[in-house]
Structure formats: structure tokens, C-alpha cells
């Protein structure tokens, strides 16, 4: 199979400059979007095929028109729409294809949440959990949603850390995310390797921690937990499809040094992350 470069198949992230605030009627529009999501969810019971991201192309176009170039507003509308569909699907007993579709939508939600956290101004991001709890009425599911939100916030923080150190960062396709557990793809144009990253966050004082899954022997691979084994297999699949050396790595960032809804890293977090990158470069130099 012919290898290709990873650029183009995925979404490249960038650090926002002067993020636009949400419009005054954002909640009103979000209510309408959520209502349309409930209607759209009902059509899935007639679908027996697996969904793809292309099945949502019409809605993506509509929300881009509504947001009029306001990127965080676009991602907010997408999250509200997809969260509503996912919530409706979870009410039903799903056969295997529909379960797969539910996972697919869940992956899309996390992707949009990550981009929303990365691009939204801090004041709007601070209000967001209260807004969505009020508008969608999560009830007993709110703690589950809050965990997903914190995961997306952690991925956005890690993406920003990478970009501020000169790395190019991409979100993989939703399929690669849910199938292979790869959250972020990061590489430096000046270096011969990149990282396939599982992003984690922790409520601890520790700044950055990481686990490398590099040059695992077969017997060690069998000792991995299911999610870790999927991740390692996913990076092997990714390597077969893309040019370059790609290192599987799990990176956990402690969130206690951040303000609750802050994405830009404090200086001590940047310094800790620079030390992590230096360690990864050293490992690559001694094993390649």
C-alpha cells in the first residue's frame, strides 16, 4: 500500500488570535439546533448502514453559514447538535450497527469539543457547562458529559502546548480516534519523527507525565490492557499508511496549575513539557 503524508486527511489545529465572543443570541439559536438534533436522531432508526462524517456534511455547511466565520460558535452549534443525537440514541436498545453509529457520533462530539475548547474565549468557556446543562437538560447524564468535556479540555491544553513548542498538531479522523484510540498527531517539520498521542488529564500537582509504547516486544504487548493494545495496534496501522517514524506515547497533564477554563499553558507547564520533549528526542536518538 502506498504511503502518504498525514497532512490533508486530518484537521490541523492552530493557536487562535483574538477569539471572537459568542453572539448575544447564541443560546436561542442553540435551542433551535438542539430541537433539530432530536428530529434528526429519529431518522436513524431507519438507517441500517454505518454512518460516516460525510453523512453530516449538510449540517456542517448549515452551521458554518449560521456562525458566519465565528469558529468557537460553529463548534458550539456542532456540539449541541451531536450531543442531542447521542443522548437520544442512548435511550434505545441498539443493534450492533447502531451501537457503532453511537460511537461514531461520540467521537465527533469529542472532536468538536476539543476544537471548541481551543478556540473559545475564556469567559464563554467558563459559562459553557452551565449553558449546556440548562439547554440540553442532561439530568443524570451530566457527570458523564462533564468527564467528556474535561477530556476535551485536556486534549486542547496538550495541543496548545505542542503548538507553542513549534510542533504541528492534527486531529485524526473520527474513525482513527474511536478505532485506534489516537487523540492527537504531532510532529516537527525539522525532525524525522512524530508522535501519535493519547491525551490524558489528571487532577494532580504533577505537571506532565508520559508513557512510551516504543519497540515493545511481542510478549510485553500481550500484557497490555485492551485500550493500550488497541492504541499500539493503531499506531502500527498509522505507520503503515504514513511517511516517517511515529512514536506511540500517552501524555498526561496535571490540571491544578491551570485556572478551571484556561487553555493557554502557565510557564511552569511549558517548562515541564519542554523537558518531556527533550526526553523523547533522546530516546529516539538512541533507538533509531
- Surface-to-core class of residue 13, CB atoms within 10 Å of its CB (0-12 exposed, 13-18 middle, 19+ buried): buried
Structural domain includes residue 2: no
Give the chain's domain count. Answer: 2
Structural domain includes residue 148: no
Instruction: Classify the phi-psi angles of 8: left when phi > 0, otherwise alpha if psi is within -120 to 50, otherwise beta.
Output: left
Do 131 and 17 lie in one domain? The reply is: yes
Structural domain includes residue 259: yes
Structural domain includes residue 162: no
Structural domain includes residue 150: no
Do 205 and 258 lie in one domain? The reply is: yes
Mean pLDDT, rounded, of the chain: 83
Residue 46 binned pLDDT confidence (cut-offs 50, 70, 90): low
Query: How far out from the chain centre does Cα 221 lie?
Result: 25
Structural domain includes residue 118: yes
Q: Which domain holds residue 189?
A: 168-287
44's grid cell: 436513524
> What pLDDT, on a 0 to 100 scale, did the predictor assign at position 72?
95
Residue 218 has pLDDT above 50, yes or no: no
Do 188 and 243 lie in one domain? The reply is: yes
Do 100 and 21 lie in one domain? The reply is: yes
What pTM, to 2 d.p., does this model score?
A: 0.89
Do 85 and 28 lie in one domain? The reply is: yes
Taking the C-alpha atoms of residue 157 and residue 168, their distance in angstroms, rounded to an integer, is 14
Do 188 and 227 lie in one domain? The reply is: yes
Q: Which residues pair with 251 in a beta bridge?
A: 199, 210
Residue 287 binned pLDDT confidence (cut-offs 50, 70, 90): low
Structural domain includes residue 153: no
Structural domain includes residue 1: no
Amino acid at each position: 500500500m502506498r504511503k502518504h503524508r498525514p497532512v490533508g486527511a486530518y484537521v490541523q489545529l492552530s493557536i487562535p488570535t483574538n477569539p471572537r465572543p459568542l453572539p448575544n443570541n447564541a443560546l436561542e439559536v442553540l435551542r433551535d439546533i438542539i430541537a433539530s438534533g432530536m428530529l434528526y436522531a429519529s431518522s436513524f432508526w431507519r438507517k441500517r448502514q454505518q454512518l460516516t462524517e460525510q453523512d453530516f456534511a449538510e449540517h456542517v455547511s448549515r452551521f458554518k453559514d449560521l456562525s458566519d466565520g465565528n469558529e468557537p460558535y460553529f463548534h458550539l452549534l456542532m456540539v449541541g447538535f451531536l450531543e442531542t443525537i447521542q443522548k437520544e440514541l442512548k435511550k434505545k436498545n441498539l443493534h450492533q450497527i447502531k451501537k457503532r453509529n453511537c460511537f461514531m457520533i461520540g467521537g465527533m462530539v469529542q472532536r468538536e469539543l476539543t476544537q471548541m475548547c481551543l478556540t473559545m474565549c475564556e469567559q464563554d468557556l467558563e459559562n459553557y457547562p452551565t449553558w449546556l446543562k440548562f439547554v440540553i437538560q442532561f439530568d443524570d447524564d451530566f457527570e458523564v458529559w462533564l468527564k467528556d468535556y474535561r477530556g476535551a479540555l485536556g486534549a486542547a491544553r496538550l495541543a496548545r502546548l505542542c503548538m507553542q513548542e513549534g510542533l504541528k498538531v492534527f486531529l485524526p479522523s473520527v474513525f482513527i480516534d474511536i478505532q485506534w484510540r489516537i487523540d492527537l498527531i504531532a510532529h516537527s517539520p525539522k525532525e524525522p519523527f512524530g508522535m501519535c498521542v493519547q491525551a490524558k488529564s489528571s487532577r494532580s500537582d504533577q505537571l506532565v507525565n508520559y508513557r512510551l509504547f516504543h519497540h515493545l516486544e511481542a510478549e510485553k504487548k500481550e500484557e497490555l490492557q485492551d485500550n493500550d493494545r488497541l492504541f499500539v495496534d493503531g499506531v502500527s496501522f498509522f505507520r503503515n499508511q504514513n511517511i516517517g517514524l511515529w512514536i506511540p506515547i500517552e501524555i498526561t497533564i496535571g490540571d491544578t496549575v491551570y485556572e478551571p477554563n484556561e487553555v493557554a499553558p502557565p510557564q511552569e507547564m511549558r517548562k515541564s513539557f519542554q523537558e518531556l520533549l527533550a526526553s523523547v528526542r533522546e530516546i529516539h536518538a538512541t533507538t533509531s
